[in-house]
Structure 1
Amino acid sequence: MFTVHEVPGPSSEKEVKEHQAAQLINDWSKEKDINYRKFQKGSSVLSRMVGFLVFLIFFAGAVWIGVQWLLVPSGVLSLFKKAQVPAVAEKKPLDLEVKAPLEIASGDTVNYEIVYTNNEKYALSELELIVRYPDNFNFEKAEPVQLMNASHNVWSIGSIAQGESKKIKIFGQILGEEGAEKIFTANLSYKPVNFHARFKETKKVSTILKSSVLSLSVLGPKNLLAEQNIEYVIQYKNNAKEQLKNIAVRVTYPLSFVFADSDPTLKEGEDAWNFPVFDAGAEGRILIHGALTGAIGEPKNFGAEIGFMENGAFRLQNRTSLITPVIDPHIVVDVTIEQIGASVKKPDAPAGEDTISVKFASGALYKINYKNEGDLELKNIVITLEIVDLQHLIKEKSFIYADGKDAVKEYDTKNGRYTLVWGGKGGAFLKDVRPGESDSVSFTVDISGKPAEENAELANTFRSKVQLDARSQDITVPILVEGRSVVVMVE
């Protein structure tokens, strides 16, 4: 017989419900545990990724700092300095300051005050001050004077103690036109303790000339020829609102200048024009005439000064100058004469002359060539040809001009002299010739068919010589150039 055992379980409805509830809670707990383990696994992967990224960032930063440290030793330190708040500006080892007025009247005395301070915790040695003065600055005095050189522009100061401050004062007169800027420069060099190298501080100050009691200017030629007469014009004015007294104007002439006259004239034994009274706003001028000689390229400096005469001494108020170079216009001009059909040039021509021969009863072609080999443009060109024919070998009425460039011809029958002029009054107009350009004029004449019976000792010859006269806007006097003489022998 089989024994029947009862399966364990709830025996009542209440127990069944309690069992079902416990079973649901148990299933929910298992599912919760499984999800939590999944979440734990996912969180672990994420943490490792974040940690790896943080490691990379720190590693890259360390590498960059290392490179900065190796290449620029101050690089790392500068990072920390930038982070400091607030930033403090570093003091220079040596402070240099130059004090000067912003504006001053021409002719007044200016005071430049140079102050220098040692900001280091130790002395600075071998200090040397070098100054550069403005144009037209007249040195008067300086303090201290014992450290200054003979040229009044270098001070050998020596050393300066820790925290010490010193000054140098320079006094002088500034001259110039109204509105001119005058720049003063100071360079102070020094050596710190245990250093072999020198260090330098530089400061510049600017002063504007607001007015000039006496204005002055010089007018003259822009260029000079090697030998020429010249005129200089000195203009001066009283810019003050009151009358001035005891005004004097004096000049410095260029080398090789030969004085001719002036207006107003200079009194004998005087080297300056003196004006006892000069009214407010009044103007005046002085004309000076003379002659100059000089080598090509040599500059000619004409200077003028105006000031007051005080107790027999000249007190300068203004100064100016005009520098004019001596130039060579470099113009080439010559005349060629050929027998129409043939010509022969003689090799035994005298110095400075060319000799050619033509036949009786032939024609001769004259051609005048000129070229501008200089740097000036030639204007108002006039060419003058002179032919001296004492034996009347040229037929007077046979002149035929080429290219419509007719000349004004004058003939002195008695002396057998022809004068032909192109340009100027009446002659054909000749165009301006720029640098590098050239031009010419030409004509023909007929030669007599037989030799002259009188004056046979002249060997049947006539002579020709050409001259070029031109003007240029860069030169105040005419430019005169002569060509070589040409002797024509008629055979």
Structure 2
Amino acid sequence: MLAEQDLTFKVKVKNASVLKLEGVSVRLDYPSDLQIKSSGPGLSEKVWNVGSLAPAEEKEMALSGRLVSKPSALKEFKAEVGLMQNGVFVLQNQVVHIAGVISPDVNITLEPAGGLSEFKFGEPFQLAVLVSNLSTLALEQGTLAIDVTDNADLLLWDTFKALGDYPFEVEKGDSVESNMHKIVFKNLPAMEPAGEWKIEFSLESIEVPYDIEDSDFKIIVKPSLSATSPDLAVPLKVTGNEREFTFK
């Protein structure tokens, strides 16, 4: 499992007898640092009140949340199914799942051309995004999304160029409060541990604006990554630090 990542804990019960069962309940025991965001119906204080089950009938419940834990710590998930008889829980079966916790250890950094955070009007806005795999996981099916907020309309988006062979698309945000574009690079090649992706793009910028003394001319960029791994049951999701670039 991944630390600081969303996960879903599914519990499934099935009546394997030829009789209808009444008062079926499942007692759950999951890590205290699993911050529950949503759960299926009938869950109350770690008890899932299933109710009745006909022969061969099956029911499933899911707990979704985020695991806030240190890497390498073992976590135990346990479910006990039983029948409530005269207010007493009578255990019928149980299952335990123990898994380790690892850190994503994937870094995303933004590197502007020239290494500076300041650009000049009329010159290209060129940026490189570095994705470094510091984990022990092999990454596949990578998708890199780059949110670019440009409220002062400094960039000429019809001049967008991707410097490389990665397939991409540029989406215009629908917010009326901010001028945001999302650059999405999909189907990135597989990356082994200690590997790196370097993705570069550029856009032309406007000439010196008329109201240069009255405005705050800046671009805000925030990258995020989604990828799969043969060693993970859920996609890996990592968000890089937001960075601000100014024009003068």
TM-score, with normalisation over the residues of structure 1? 0.44
Q: 2:202 aligns with which of 415, 423, 444?
A: 444
Partner of 2:131: 370
From 151, 158, 163, give the equivalent of 1:390.
151
Q: 1:456 and 2:205 equivalent?
A: no
The CA distance in 1 between the partners of 2:202 and 2:184, in whole Å, is 15
Q: Which of 271, 296, 299 pairs up with 2:47?
A: 271
- Asked if the contact 2:2/2:104 (under 8 Å) is kept, the reply is no
Structure 1 residues 417, 336: CA separation in 2 closer, same or farther (over 3 Å shift)? same
Are 2:180 and 1:403 aligned?
Answer: no
Question: What residue in structure 2 maps to residue 230 of structure 1?
Answer: 8
**Residue equivalent to 1:288:** 62
Report the equivalent of 1:256: 33
Separation of aligned partners in 2, 1:332 and 1:321: 34
Q: How far off its partner does 1:381 sit?
A: 1.3
Higher helix share: 1
Answer with 1 or 2: which has the greater Rg. 1
Contact 2:3-2:69 at 8 Å conserved across structures: no
CA distance in 2, matches of 1:270, 1:390: 47
Q: Deviation per CA, 1:404-463, whole angstroms, max 9, x where unpaired?
A: 32421134697443321111xxxxx3112222211121122223332x123633343322
In 2: Cα distance, 1:466 partner to 1:269 partner: 38
CA shift, 1:306, in A, is: 2.7
- Paired amino acid for 1:261: S
Higher strand share: 2
Gaps of 5+ in 1: 1-222, 346-355, 424-428
Are residue 418 (structure 1) and residue 181 (structure 2) matched? yes
> What amino acid does structure 1 have at the position aligned with 2:94?
R
Aligned counterparts, 1:312-331, within 5 A: 312-331=87-106
Looking at both structures, which has the greater relative contact order when contacts are Cα pairs under 8 Å and sequence separation is at least 6?
2
Gaps of 5+ in 2: none
CA distance in 1, matches of 2:121, 2:84: 78
1:159-308 aligned at under 5 Å gives the runs 223-238=1-16, 240=17, 242-243=18-19, 245-246=21-22, 247-257=24-34, 258=36, 260-263=38-41, 265-266=42-43, 271-273=47-49, 275=51, 278-279=54-55, 282-297=56-71, 298-308=73-83
Compute the TM-score of the two structures, normalised by the length of structure 2: 0.81
Could you say what the CA RMSD is over the residues aligned between the two structures, in angstroms? 3.0
1:291 positional shift: 1.7
Q: Is the 8 A contact 2:74 2:99 kept in 1?
A: yes
Q: Which residue of 2 aligns with 1:485?
A: 242
Residue deviations 1:230-289, cap 9 Å, x none?
A: 231223342x5x5264554322232134373325x24x689353555653xx24233132
Distance 1:270 1:411 in 2: 44
CA distance in 1, matches of 2:173, 2:81: 56
Contact 2:27 2:46 in 1 (8 A): no
Question: What is the aligned-residue identity percentage?
Answer: 19
